[in-house]
Structure 1
Amino acid sequence: MQNYPIGTTGKPWGDEEKAEWKAQQIVRRSYQEEVLDKLSNIVPNGFELNQYGALPYDEARYPLYAVLPERIDQNKPSVLVTGGVHGYETSGVQGALQFIETKLSHYAKHFNVIVVPCISPWGYETINRWNPMALDPNRSFFSDSPAPESAQLMKLASDLGVALSLHIDLHETTDTDNSEFRPALAARDGVTHDNWNIPDGFYTVANTPNPQLAFQKAVIDAVKQVTHIAPADENGKIIGADVVSEGVICYDKKALYLCGGMTDAKYVTTTEVYPDSDNATPENCNDAQVAAICAALEFIK
């Protein structure tokens, strides 16, 4: 059994343990300075900043924004780029912002591109996988979701009223997955989790029922120019899942209620950057996310 400082081994958390966990979380960086202030300056011509919600923990502090075309062209394919559903995965957020600033206008003539750069701003500020209720937003994309991060994004997607061709969800796999987040998950649920080897490098997670491996390969090949691709472990796996092609594993995104499963897009991928590599820098991680988005768009163009 893993030891975790909250709760009783083998017993799921109740409200008391969740409150104890929440009380230990502290703000470590500023959503206002690192996300909102940037957004106010980088939205290109032809796009608008749309507030689609706010988190109930502090609506003034945590407004939720998407960058949308001023006019949706029904003759163009529509694309969703999401970041920061796990707030601690920094390049998911900053990579989405970098894409808005440097590449979004280039793709506007081919696509309706919708970018939601920071789905979980409380998680961003506290560098957390969960929200304050000890819920993982990335396991909460289902009807009547108790996670406001997930519920409000699903409502945005529904309100857009467009069929999406592509959804790319930007993530990281970090060393803290083993040191903090998986032990916390095991403690919260009163179970045991085996830690896995944290893969050194970039990989993608395809959708099991519709993996689109040629599309995944195009993303991997583009990111190779920016950073290294994660090798399989000694069992031919990455984070416990079989490697189906270089740097690609599969999850059933709808069955797991993942952000990547919230749409019916034909092309879906989740990026996974490794920021703790000796060979990685924050800039390199952001560049990898942008390269992945651009490769996905080029593939379906």
Structure 2
Amino acid sequence: MDRFYPIGTPGEPWGDAEKQLWFESQSVQRSYRDEVLAKLDALDDTFDVFQYGSLPIDRERYPLMAVTVASDQADAPWALITGGVHGYETSGVQGALEFLASHASSYRDRLNLVVAPCISPWGYEVINRWNPNCLDPNRSFTAGTAAEESAGLMGLLADLGVDVRVHMDLHETTDSDESEFRPAVAARDGEAFEPGAIPDGFYTVGDTENPQPDFQAAIIAGVGRVTHIAPADEHGQIIGSDVTQPGVINYRNTEWGLCAGVTGARFTTTTEVYPDSPKATPEICIDAQVAAVRAGLDVVLAAD
């Protein structure tokens, strides 16, 4: 097997030494405190902002934070919004924060909201998909998980003890998925790297076992007013999965340990923005995430 990644021996899974080399190659590139915690501090007078855990790599630097927006209606359903499960996916984090700042209050008459805007704060600072132990938090929402980020959110939901009606998990698909993260996964696992393609545009990932096509379609329609929707490739697929309707594919959320499967909610989606498109800007990507959340929540409420 030819070398395609600078760490490890091609064809051999990483051991502790290789994982330590990978960890030591990471560096802080932005501030979780300045870009996330400061924005949450500004919301503290309006909503219930609280800490539900911390990352053991630096518990003071990396508190795990959530926000609840309690409804005026005692029987209002619950909605969960998550961002930053992959810390490098910027618009998921900033989109969740922007939704809180600009739109969350308008749902108080109809919904209870819980928002965890940055599940992986270390990943946010080093701009990486993995956590410090070379684990992908978005493949780690399983019982007894070793990923502290995933365990933290699961613990939060257990403590809340609420029946979540809708869960929207905000992500990005970036060019670095192909240039860095997929090669890293293959190297870590001792497998060959098979190049793929990055779709140009927004798409959603539904649940194979509970696809909710009308819900997904409403999100695509809402985002389509903000940015372009990813087309299917020549095989009728997006990132190797069959397109079930424009801009929509499905994954086995629970089986694969994905965040979108953590609640068992009736309505779930994973949003995917493409920030490297020549048609996109950081602001457009954030606006697309906000539009997706609003469209998803609105169609669920209209269906009740």
TM-score (ref. length: structure 2): 0.97
One-letter amino acid of the counterpart of residue 31, structure 1: Y
Report the counterpart of residue 209 of structure 2 in structure 1: 209
Q: Could you tell me how far apart the structure 2 residues matched to 1:250 and 1:105 are?
A: 31
**Correspondence 1:59 to 2:59:** yes
Report the counterpart of residue 225 of structure 1 in structure 2: 225
**Correspondence 1:281 to 2:247:** no
User: What fraction of aligned residue pairs are identical, expressed as a percent?
Assistant: 59
Q: Could you tell me how far apart the structure 2 residues matched to 1:209 and 1:79 are?
A: 20
Superposition map of 1:217-296 within 5 A: 217-296=217-296
Report the counterpart of residue 132 of structure 1 in structure 2: 132
Q: Could you tell me how far apart the structure 2 residues matched to 1:78 and 1:192 are?
A: 43
Q: Do the aligned partners of 2:119 and 2:149 also contact (CA within 8 Å) in 1?
A: yes
SS state at 2:199 partner: coil
Q: Could you tell me how far apart the structure 2 residues matched to 1:210 and 1:142 are?
A: 19
Q: Could you tell me how far apart the structure 2 residues matched to 1:298 and 1:70 are?
A: 17
Report the counterpart of residue 27 of structure 1 in structure 2: 28
Aligned residues: 300
Q: Do the aligned partners of 1:44 and 1:105 also contact (CA within 8 Å) in 2?
A: no
SS state at 1:13 partner: coil
Q: Do the aligned partners of 2:71 and 2:111 also contact (CA within 8 Å) in 1?
A: no
Offset, 1:76 = 0.6
Q: Could you tell me how far apart the structure 2 residues matched to 1:81 and 1:150 are?
A: 14
Q: Do the aligned partners of 1:96 and 1:290 also contact (CA within 8 Å) in 2?
A: yes
Report the counterpart of residue 39 of structure 2 in structure 1: 38
Runs of 4+ residues over 4 Å off in structure 1:
70-74
Offset, 1:214 = 0.6
Q: Could you tell me how far apart the structure 2 residues matched to 1:291 and 1:116 are?
A: 18
Q: Could you tell me how far apart the structure 1 residues matched to 2:52 and 2:73 are?
A: 20
Report the counterpart of residue 189 of structure 1 in structure 2: 189
Offset, 1:291 = 0.2
Q: Could you tell me how far apart the structure 1 residues matched to 2:195 and 2:261 are?
A: 25
Q: Could you tell me how far apart the structure 1 residues matched to 2:178 and 2:61 are?
A: 30
Q: Do the aligned partners of 1:43 and 1:101 also contact (CA within 8 Å) in 2?
A: no
**Correspondence 1:13 to 2:23:** no
Per-residue CA distance 1:252-285 (angstroms, 9 max, x = gap) = 0000000001111000000000000001000000
Offset, 1:196 = 1.7
Per-residue CA distance 1:155-200 (angstroms, 9 max, x = gap) = 1011111100000000000000000000000000001242221000
One-letter amino acid of the counterpart of residue 67, structure 2: V
Q: Do the aligned partners of 1:44 and 1:101 also contact (CA within 8 Å) in 2?
A: no
Q: Do the aligned partners of 1:83 and 1:119 also contact (CA within 8 Å) in 2?
A: yes
Q: Do the aligned partners of 1:44 and 1:100 also contact (CA within 8 Å) in 2?
A: no
Q: Could you tell me how far apart the structure 2 residues matched to 1:43 and 1:177 are?
A: 35
Offset, 1:70 = 5.1
CA 1:48–1:73 in 2, change beyond 3 Å: closer, same or farther? same
TM-score (ref. length: structure 1): 0.98
